[in-house]
Amino acid sequence: MAAVFDLDLETEEGSEGEPEFSPSDVCPLAESRAAGPEPVGHCEEVELTETSVNLGPERIGPHCFELLRVLGKGGYGKVFQVRKVQGTNLGKIYAMKVLRKAKIVRNAKDTAHTRAERNILESVKHPFIVELAYAFQTGGKLYLILECLSGGELFTHLEREGIFLEDTACFYLAEITLALGHLHSQGIIYRDLKPENIMLNSQGHIKLTDFGLCKESIHEGAVTHTFCGTIEYMAPEILVRSGHNRAVDWWSLGALMYDMLTGSPPFTAENRKKTMDKIIKGKLTLPPYLTPDARDLVKKFLKRNPSQRIGGGPGDSADVQRHPFFRHINWDDLLARRIDPPFRPCLQSEEDVSQFDTHFTRQTPVDSPDDTALSESANQAFLPPEVLTL
């Protein structure tokens, strides 16, 4: 599951035009811009909360899971498809994300991103956000056991189709809107919306994944200055470091909408610098085949001033939901997953990995020996606050 999580913990990444602007046009707080980015053996069970994961007396560890396939791999670890073979939920298929602590603790930002991801997965429950079932650690590794999203990445399906019909895009964008709105209601900015971070479950509904770049405790009126995300989907106020809030997620949704309907993000160039320049001051070109509602929503998402951007005000996702592009969406039915997705993955069984990259799925699944001994302080960096003294 290559994009269930970004195992490299990426941290830096017809014609309609808007006038060029200065950083202060992007965000009224540009004048008070921050100087730079924010700082960001035996099995030990990590008790998270009494209402979410690791419930009851069951002792959870790597021995409880049989490795089936490799779904993804990166510099910090691997993601496996696994089957639970001990305790409750016998036979259930999960995705097991394994991270090497020794590599993560070398960088304070990576440690912070890992903790933020775990905290958010623990606390946030929503139909369109990946579910965390268990979390534990050994001497040298961190383990997150997640629902296995066998429909694969939205990126894969978009790449295969080239572009989506507007009705198809509307469905996915609507589900993503509900997921983002829920995160924002919890004071969380997502900050890395892109096709690779959106997975499909076996029925074809979307699930947001990869929460390492999220920012917590950002409520109405608060801003942050960290430079993070994926350049092509990154809001201009992040690029100019003028301070940003949850409105950056609506810019990213606009870039994703444009990608779905045209086959590429709205601002691209031969290198990062030129791409950033286009995002900051380039003209937006809209193909003539887009319907008026689609054109209008894209333009409102891609307003460079976040206070003028749809969703950028106090109404947040409610303002997005009211746009005519979504007029045929019954939001209650959508949230309850009573609307059939436009695409249902063709899967032969719960273990089917046909929607994933064969470069990974053909590899022999091996969770390499845990032979790293970290200091007590390094180990505690990954424990939730309530168990630091245990």
Q: How many CB atoms lie within 10 A of CB 389?
A: 7
Binding residue per annotation — 132? no
Strand 44-45 versus strand 65-74 pairing type: unpaired
Binding residue per annotation — 239? no
Binding residue per annotation — 77? yes
65 - beta bridge partners?
A: 84
Which is nearest to 7 in space by CA: 72, 74, 69?
74
Which is nearest to 74 in space by CA: 154, 141, 6?
6
Binding residue per annotation — 72? yes
Q: Which residue has the tokens 């900015």?
A: 189
Q: How far apart are CA 147 and CA 166, in angstroms?
A: 29
Q: How far apart are CA 286 and CA 388, in angstroms?
A: 53
Binding residue per annotation — 181? no
Binding residue per annotation — 73? yes
Binding residue per annotation — 125? no
3-state SS assignment for residue 352: coil
Binding residue per annotation — 91? no
66 - beta bridge partners?
A: 83
Under a CB-based contact definition with an 8 Å cutoff, are residues 325 and 296 in contact? yes
Which is nearest to 130 in space by CA: 257, 3, 7, 253?
3
Q: Is the dihedral of CA 168, 188, 208, 228 positive or negative?
A: positive
Q: Dmax of the chain from CA atoms?
A: 63
Binding residue per annotation — 76? yes
Binding residue per annotation — 74? yes
Under a CB-based contact definition with an 8 Å cutoff, are residues 164 and 74 in contact? no
Q: How would you classify residue 208: left for phi > 0, otherwise alpha for psi between -120 and 50, otherwise beta?
A: beta
Catalytic residue among 6, 110, 192, 316: 192
Which is nearest to 327 in space by CA: 174, 179, 212?
174
333 counts as catalytic: no
Q: Which residues make up each annotated binding site for ATP? A: 71-79, 97
Active-site residue list:
192
Binding residues: 71-79, 97
